[in-house]
Structure 1
Amino acid sequence: MKRKVDFENHQFKSDWTDRFCFIVPDHAKSKPTCLICTQTVAVCKTDNLKWHFNTMHAASFNANYPPESDQRKQKIANMITSYKHSVSTISKSTSAQESATAASLQVSWNLAKAKKPFADAELMKSCAVAMVSKVLHHDEKQKKTVVELLKQVPLSANTATRRVEVLAADCFSHLLTDLKKAEAISLAIDSSRDRTDMEQLSVFARFFDGKTFREELLCLLPLTGRTTGEIIFTELTQFFVKNGLYVGKIVSIVTDGAPSMVGQHKGLVSRLSAVNPALLAFHCIIHKSVLCAKLCGKMKETMDTVTRLVNFVRESSSLQHGLFRAMLDEMSAEHKDLLLHNDVCWLTQEFKMFLIDNDMMGYVFFLCDIMSHLNCLNLQLQVEAFQSKVKLLEKDIQGRKLHFPRLREHCEKNNMGEDQVMQDFVSSLAKNFYERFEYIPKLSSDILLFLRQPFSVSADGQWTAEAKKLWPSIDEAALQMEVLEMGTSDVLKAQHTDVGVNDFWTTWFPKLDSETPELLQCSYSQCSPPHTYDRNRLSNAHLDQCLRIVTTEYRPDIRSIASSQCCHFSH
């Protein structure tokens, strides 16, 4: 067999320094270094060092400094001192450069997290220098040292751009590592057009990383041309293949319900279902709540009128906008300005001052109250609870109006009675919510109950049959046995009482694979669906990196990244 020098463990001998003028530096993986010319040899062996010394230096060095002489020993000692001094100088310079690079990386990370322009990095440096100058004005020496260090930190816009690329790549690397280990992945997919009318497909992933459930931006895919289900499926699968991920791990998907997503034959969901027949598909809850709240008739006329007035005050007339802001200051209103209007976001009570003579004020107050309830739904995403609340609102609008405080106050001041239009709208809202969210209790209410309260569900209940339909590979009999065994564990019961649902399952999740495989598949429901709140206005320049840093929970090791970079002082 061919000899492998790396495994021969050659040791450097102290007498080689005097004989051949070689030393071994004090750092990892160092090689014997010549004190005369600073060249290194690949293998720490007598013959290698002897050959280098005799070939390059022996004639002149031995003539000037004979072996075993005091002059030779003193010369070698001086060369060792000089070498260590030069190495120390280089090491200090390298350390300073790494520190400057680490500072630059940290500033770029903070800028990206705050969604600020890269050009603001130089402004931050100027502010830091100005702050140090003021804070350390009594100590000129220390001030000069700190200011010089700050000025060495590279923070130009181009540098900040490169830093963001490196940081985003580091976070993405950690994400891919965790995703490859995950047993199941759930996706939330949405698309929107950026300022250049490029369709950007944002894909968020929810998965269990071995310790906790994570929700991370998986990718941002620009779609040129048409955005059909086939194109979206192709782009998504190509991304998975390119990054070593398996599409079959996708157990659920949330979309906005567009035909390209949920088309029966050519939609993205149907194509993914062909890969994983047990795939669960959901409609975005927030989007459905918007559809439920679509206005009609008198309500639409009122909302359109308010929208035109808002846009007139906010955009079309600087005079009216200024007068409105002044009025808000006089009233000590909670909000100091008027936002551009969105159907389901808000209606401000203070706006009534501009509509005080309008016959529609009763409808404006009604819409203000009902939209506030929808805002709570969008923030809390508690659909089942809201369906019960809508039924209560349906009764309340016909009676005391406890949940319509603005409308109630307006009716009392103006001696207004019941309005059939408002009652019909709330009834329509309740019906709409029931129809659009009817699938939730039918699909998995019992399974979700098991996940929330695993010790209160019977092992021989109907939910195991539902689980079998969702995951055909499950052995229903084995699942029931596993649930019974789980129910007899006092340790698990105590743990479930002490911690929350997520903490309970994340603590026990790693044990499921080997001990209770059927429960493992059921617990995949914890991975679905994702419910991220990140909806962004998009641009093309380094969009993926910026959005990844803004949304990620990963934290890069900045010092390690800095040490791996080619560090230098530059701007």
Structure 2
Amino acid sequence: MSSKKRKYNEIYMQYGFTVITESGEEKPQCVLCNKVLSNDSMRPTKLKQHLQNVHPQNKDKDKSFFERRNKALTMMRLDVFGESFKRNNKLVEASFLVALEIAKQKKPHTIGETLIKPCALEMADVVLGKKKLGAVSLSNNTIQRRIKDLSDDIKSQVVQQIKTAPFGLFAFQLDESTDISSCAQLMVFAKYVCDDAFKEEFLFCSPLETTTKAADVLEKVSTFFASENLEWKNLAGCCTDGAPAMLGCYSGFQASVKKQARRIKVVHCMLHRQALASKTLPESLGKVLHQMILIVNFIKAGALTSRLFKTFCEDMDSDYQVLLYHTQTRWLSKGNVTRRVFELRRELKEFCKLKNR
């Protein structure tokens, strides 16, 4: 006499089990570990026992939680053994590689589907005679999701390296700046010891929606520390610029951080120090820099003058044909401009004579 075949009931979802059919027989499948049980286990007591013994941390979850996991499970296309098919792994890997290159080049996410994929298909068709790349997903949403996954993975690696650093100590450097779209961004870099060497990595970037006070900066950093289980007591150093919100002795960011980590060492960013020093040049150097800026602006301000100077440099077989602009927010650019002017000093002298300047 054949044993009784049990049927699946929707109430079994509250124990975290869905159903699959194999050879006409229904079997319960756990939506958490993907394990498939026998048909005889299709009873509430055994399903509940599996949930409590194997997944005790989820035994108090409601039915909606398991329904969400079941939806993700169906999208994975699992087989009867609870293992996902491997044949699409190469396609997913290719999609991640393209997403990484798009992120590195800072290109729009749509470029994957509108340019890269059509070109790849044409090249594969010409070289291989087959179009096998059509299954690689490079849509806007896919590239955005891939880049986010890559970013989250890098962040988790950095956080893990910080946690496993000697004595768990680390330092960070942060700066708040407003971009061209008037959005205030807080950028934080971490420095720690990894593999017997100092390592500096980008930690996180977060927008400051309203004000950019010390309390707002501290809230963003504290939220990140709490989400990644980083402890303030392991913070050994803090580096900031000279903004009042950072250096205030009572309500500044550094003062607030000292309350959280009393042994912390706070320093002023060296680049900001040098930037401040560059604004108070001696009179002789400042005069030379001012004259140099006038020369650069005279040539670069007019499109016609700039084209004529480029042609003039080409006729003289110069190593360079254009001058550079400097940026006030990046003081090192002044050095690049000065170097370029010095390298084109003969050309500039002759060109200015031709222009009666």
Same-fold call, TM cutoff 0.5: yes
Which amino acid in structure 1 is aligned with residue 227 of structure 2? K
The 8 Å contact of residues 290 and 344 in structure 1, kept in 2 or not, is answered as no
Which amino acid in structure 2 is aligned with residue 127 of structure 1? C
Residue 322 of structure 2 aligns to a residue whose secondary structure is coil
The 8 Å contact of residues 190 and 255 in structure 1, kept in 2 or not, is answered as yes
Greater Rg by CA:
1
1:309 matched to 2:295: yes
Which residue does 2:348 correspond to in 1? 354
Q: 2:336, 2:175 → 1: CA distance?
A: 20
1:207 matched to 2:192: yes
Deviations 1:381-429 (A, max 9, x none): xxxxxxxxxxxxxxxxxxxxxxxxxxxxxxxxxxxxxxxxxxxxxxxxx
More helix by share: 1
- How do 1:247-258 residues align onto structure 2 when only pairs under 5 Å count? 247-258=232-243
Q: 1:32, 1:156 → 2: CA distance?
A: 32
Q: 1:107, 1:199 → 2: CA distance?
A: 30
1:37–1:306 Cα change, 3 Å? same
Q: 1:38, 1:175 → 2: CA distance?
A: 48
2:106 to 86, 105, 115: 115
Which residue does 2:52 correspond to in 1? none
Which residue does 1:260 correspond to in 2? 245
Structure 2's unaligned 5+ residue stretches are: 6-17, 30-35, 43-78, 327-332
Q: State the 1:301 CA deviation.
A: 3.7
Q: State the 1:298 CA deviation.
A: 4.5
1:162 to 121, 145, 169: 145
1:155–1:225 Cα change, 3 Å? same
1:19–1:229 Cα change, 3 Å? closer
1:176 matched to 2:159: yes
The 8 Å contact of residues 240 and 269 in structure 2, kept in 1 or not, is answered as yes
Which residue does 1:509 correspond to in 2? none
1:332 matched to 2:324: no
Q: 1:170, 1:135 → 2: CA distance?
A: 35
Q: State the 1:272 CA deviation.
A: 1.4
1:189 to 174, 179, 197: 174
1:233 to 218, 226, 248: 218
Q: 2:271, 2:187 → 1: CA distance?
A: 16
Structure 1's unaligned 5+ residue stretches are: 1-15, 22-30, 50-86, 137-142, 360-571
Identity of aligned pairs, percent? 26
1:197–1:34 Cα change, 3 Å? closer
1:273–1:231 Cα change, 3 Å? same
1:335–1:121 Cα change, 3 Å? farther
Deviations 1:14-40 (A, max 9, x none): xx9x9899xxxxxxxxx9976542521
Residue 346 of structure 1 aligns to a residue whose secondary structure is helix
Which residue does 1:318 correspond to in 2? 303
**What RMSD, in angstroms, separates the aligned Cα atoms of the two structures?**
3.5
Q: 1:45, 1:225 → 2: CA distance?
A: 57
- How do 1:398-417 residues align onto structure 2 when only pairs under 5 Å count? none
| Number of residue pairs the alignment of both structures matches | 286
1:216 matched to 2:201: yes
1:297–1:171 Cα change, 3 Å? same
1:250–1:20 Cα change, 3 Å? same
Which amino acid in structure 2 is aligned with residue 219 of structure 1? F
TM normalised by structure 2 equals 0.68
Which amino acid in structure 2 is aligned with residue 305 of structure 1? Q
1:158–1:356 Cα change, 3 Å? same
Which amino acid in structure 1 is aligned with residue 122 of structure 2? A
Q: State the 1:296 CA deviation.
A: 4.5
Q: 1:329, 1:20 → 2: CA distance?
A: 92
The 8 Å contact of residues 184 and 251 in structure 1, kept in 2 or not, is answered as yes
Deviations 1:186-242 (A, max 9, x none): 111122211211121110001134665432111112123332223222322222123
Q: State the 1:247 CA deviation.
A: 1.7
Residue 345 of structure 1 aligns to a residue whose secondary structure is helix
Q: 1:320, 1:264 → 2: CA distance?
A: 52
Deviations 1:428-455 (A, max 9, x none): xxxxxxxxxxxxxxxxxxxxxxxxxxxx
The 8 Å contact of residues 204 and 216 in structure 1, kept in 2 or not, is answered as yes
Residue 235 of structure 1 aligns to a residue whose secondary structure is helix
Q: State the 1:125 CA deviation.
A: 1.9
Q: 2:197, 2:3 → 1: CA distance?
A: 61
2:124 to 123, 129, 132: 132
Q: State the 1:110 CA deviation.
A: 1.7
Deviations 1:511-551 (A, max 9, x none): xxxxxxxxxxxxxxxxxxxxxxxxxxxxxxxxxxxxxxxxx
TM normalised by structure 1 equals 0.44
Which amino acid in structure 2 is aligned with residue 333 of structure 1? S
Which residue does 1:103 correspond to in 2? 94
**Higher RCO (Cα < 8 Å, 6 or more apart):** 1
1:305–1:226 Cα change, 3 Å? farther
Q: 1:152, 1:198 → 2: CA distance?
A: 38
